[in-house]
Structure 1
Amino acid sequence: MDALTHVLIGALVAQLPAAKPSSAGADTSTKTDWELRAAIGAAVALFPDCDYLLFWLSPLDFLAYWHRAETHSLLLSPVWAALISYLLCKLLRLANAALVFKICWLAIISHLVADTLTVYGTRWFAPLSDAQFSWDLLFIIDPYFTLSVILAALLMYICRKKMWHNKRFRLAALGPPLLYLAAVLGIKLTLTAHIQQQTLAPAAAMRLLPQPFSPLYWQVLSEDEEHIYQAYSKFTTDPLADGLSHAAGVKGFAEAYTETGTLQWRSYTQPAHSDPIIRQAWQHPDFKAFRDFAEYPVVLAKETSAEQGCVWFSDLRYHWPGIQPYFRYAMCQTREGQWQLKRGRYFSEHNEEVN
């Protein structure tokens, strides 16, 4: 999930806990008014992504093992909340420590839940388990969802201004994003049912993934032991998304998505079942991290020059029509037989060696 949406959700959920008077009878809620609550929630909601600092140590290990792990752990969330709330109470001299802890914990949990809505996967039970949870409902940037969160924040603000402190009013303000998620889930389930009823998928295992610009557009992935099948489907045409894609210079985006009855399937051979050169690159020990990361691995290209030959791989989860695949890695073999790992730079045609 993008940082702006995390900040907005953090500021929103920070308004949920009720402030309780101190034992002496003095109301300490003035120490945690709307603005301060929002500031704390917004800042703490960004905390789990501090793991991005590890990217510079090893981009591929970060991708495969470190991102959305311990700092995104549901098990460790109360520990992080306790540490952060303790520091905040000391630095800001806040008296209501229990309330600050609740705000911090809710902000962190909001980050974990928001990330789980995307396709990347979040390790809720790290470090005890590497199991990843992804609900595949939202693209990493979803302006519709962000707008629904802004609307919820406005409703929450109105509740505070009107002195509607009842818990039911505060929870009701969460309605817009929850209704939006319910609508997206309904669209996804409807598309899935149509494809299954019409027996359109080439293999039994099937998965629908959200796409950029619109909740109406989805990528359909199906696989068997040797092949991965990909198609782009739409619930219905989204003129706004089509206009945005054209404005962004993404060619062929709108045209790639078709109704379920006219899906255009593309077949990819699993790297482990490809030709010997691809298998050798795919199974190289230095490529283990990418093998562990990729769920739908495909060969992007085989490049040969006077100095070396490279096999480029990516993950179909991050393929979108007209947009360069985001995560691109290669194993390259020199004429002397030495292997080297390379990484495609994000949002760039250039590549770089990985130490």
Structure 2
Amino acid sequence: MNKTVGKWGTIAGVASALLPDIDWPLYLLGDKLLLVKYHRWILNSIFCIPLFALILAYIFVKISHIKRFWVFFWICAFALLSHLFLDLITSYGTMIFSPLSNRRFWLDLVFIIDPSFTAILLIPLILCYFLKRWTTLICSLSLILLTLYIGLCGIYHHRAVKSAHRFIKESNIEYKKMASLPQPTSLFKWLNLIETQDMVYQGYLDFLRKPGKRSKIYSDSFWDRLFSKYNSPQEVRYRSFKKLPPSPWIQKALTLDEVTDFYEFARFPIARYRVPEIADAMLGIFDKLGLKYHVMGEEWCCG
């Protein structure tokens, strides 16, 4: 298909694949909540992909002067669908049915920034530039390797979920929801999160770590400190966090539109607050995916 439109097919595919991420300037503007609220929204909608593909195909027909509208359409549509799928396999959450529904969907298979995943795509791209005669073979092998990698992530995700269910059964707790989230640097490391009526349980596991061999808790090494919380699935230790401690500050914060937006985005939110000595109170709504939101100001003054 790409041979009929030449390099313009590649340009159209790359541009279409990047289109859903053009809202990142919202983050650069300084308002992180805009990105939280609207990233992976309408630009990632499965209903809007045909419309975007039609518009992009029309644009590329005009600027390339190649009268292959439907070829451009299918290239753009496939690129948009591939971006949607690659977003869906992460844990961020994608509103694939917007604007009809703002519910986020995720498969929790691959960390949002995965060096191995990126290398499987990037290295073949570089090789194709220097080995043009072998482009088809290189791309085919890359897709096969990528499929195998995602499949392997799926296998370990399933094992992590089983580990979480084992903890739930052994602890005899009633849970509302749970998730096994991929972690950076390795497909063997996972974070289990379990939410009950009042608590959120957190456990880190590493499928390469053997039972009885625990990570170093104290170390000068950055990597040791980063991975000190991971243990084997048989010895994973769960920490518990109270979701909403009794506090008038937290209840008041939850009435703010900004906090409500973030709280709806967070998958396993917990709330914490502290009152510094200078009498300014700080409240934070924390999401166990790693994001946090602070509300500060005179309205939180105590005393």
C-alpha separation between the residues in 1 aligned to 2:14 and 2:299?
Answer: 53
Aligned CA RMSD, in angstroms, stands at 3.3
Partner of 2:115: 143
Partner of 1:91: 63
C-alpha separation between the residues in 1 aligned to 2:272 and 2:10?
Answer: 44
| Amino acid of the structure 2 residue aligned with 1:31 | V
| Amino acid of the structure 2 residue aligned with 1:332 | M
C-alpha separation between the residues in 2 aligned to 1:251 and 1:222?
Answer: 26
C-alpha separation between the residues in 2 aligned to 1:61 and 1:157?
Answer: 38
C-alpha separation between the residues in 2 aligned to 1:30 and 1:152?
Answer: 23
The offset of 1:195, in angstroms, is 4.0
| Amino acid of the structure 2 residue aligned with 1:189 | H
Unaligned runs of 5+ in 2: none
| Amino acid of the structure 2 residue aligned with 1:330 | H
The offset of 1:285, in angstroms, is 4.4
Count of paired positions: 291
Partner of 1:182: 151
Cα deviation digits, residues 255-300 of structure 1 (max 9, x gap): 21001221211111112x5333333323444522122212211235
The offset of 1:214, in angstroms, is 0.7
| 2:43 corresponds to 1:43 | no
The offset of 1:177, in angstroms, is 0.6
Partner of 1:268: 241
Cα deviation digits, residues 61-91 of structure 1 (max 9, x gap): 4312x11101111110111111112111211
C-alpha separation between the residues in 2 aligned to 1:292 and 1:278?
Answer: 15
| Amino acid of the structure 2 residue aligned with 1:249 | F
* Contact 1:270–1:298 (CA under 8 A) maintained in structure 2: yes
Question: Aligned runs of 1:183-262 on 2, under 5 Å?
Answer: 183-197=152-166, 199-200=169-170, 202-204=173-175, 205-237=177-209, 249=222, 252-262=225-235
- Alpha-carbon spacing, 1:197–1:335, altered in 2? closer, same or farther (3 Å): closer
- Given the two structures, how large is their TM-score scaled by the length of structure 1? 0.71
For the residue of structure 2 that corresponds to 1:222, the secondary structure is strand
| Amino acid of the structure 1 residue aligned with 2:47 | L
Question: Aligned runs of 1:27-38 on 2, under 5 Å?
Answer: 29-32=3-6, 35-38=7-10
* Contact 1:152–1:176 (CA under 8 A) maintained in structure 2: no
C-alpha separation between the residues in 2 aligned to 1:170 and 1:333?
Answer: 54
- Given the two structures, how large is their TM-score scaled by the length of structure 2? 0.82
C-alpha separation between the residues in 1 aligned to 2:54 and 2:74?
Answer: 9
C-alpha separation between the residues in 1 aligned to 2:246 and 2:75?
Answer: 51
Partner of 2:263: 291
* Contact 1:159–1:170 (CA under 8 A) maintained in structure 2: no
* Contact 2:259–2:285 (CA under 8 A) maintained in structure 1: no
For the residue of structure 1 that corresponds to 2:281, the secondary structure is strand
Partner of 2:295: 331
| 2:257 corresponds to 1:282 | no
| Amino acid of the structure 1 residue aligned with 2:241 | Y
For the residue of structure 1 that corresponds to 2:24, the secondary structure is helix
C-alpha separation between the residues in 1 aligned to 2:94 and 2:56?
Answer: 21
C-alpha separation between the residues in 1 aligned to 2:235 and 2:160?
Answer: 13
* Contact 2:249–2:300 (CA under 8 A) maintained in structure 1: no
- Alpha-carbon spacing, 1:62–1:268, altered in 2? closer, same or farther (3 Å): same
- Alpha-carbon spacing, 1:336–1:275, altered in 2? closer, same or farther (3 Å): closer
The offset of 1:155, in angstroms, is 9.5
- Alpha-carbon spacing, 1:98–1:336, altered in 2? closer, same or farther (3 Å): closer
For the residue of structure 1 that corresponds to 2:192, the secondary structure is strand
Match of 2:44 among 65, 72, 76: 72
Cα deviation digits, residues 288-339 of structure 1 (max 9, x gap): 2122212211235524353621111220012xxxxxxxx321223416869x
For the residue of structure 1 that corresponds to 2:204, the secondary structure is strand
The offset of 1:228, in angstroms, is 0.5
| Amino acid of the structure 2 residue aligned with 1:264 | R
C-alpha separation between the residues in 2 aligned to 1:266 and 1:112?
Answer: 34
- Alpha-carbon spacing, 1:330–1:157, altered in 2? closer, same or farther (3 Å): closer
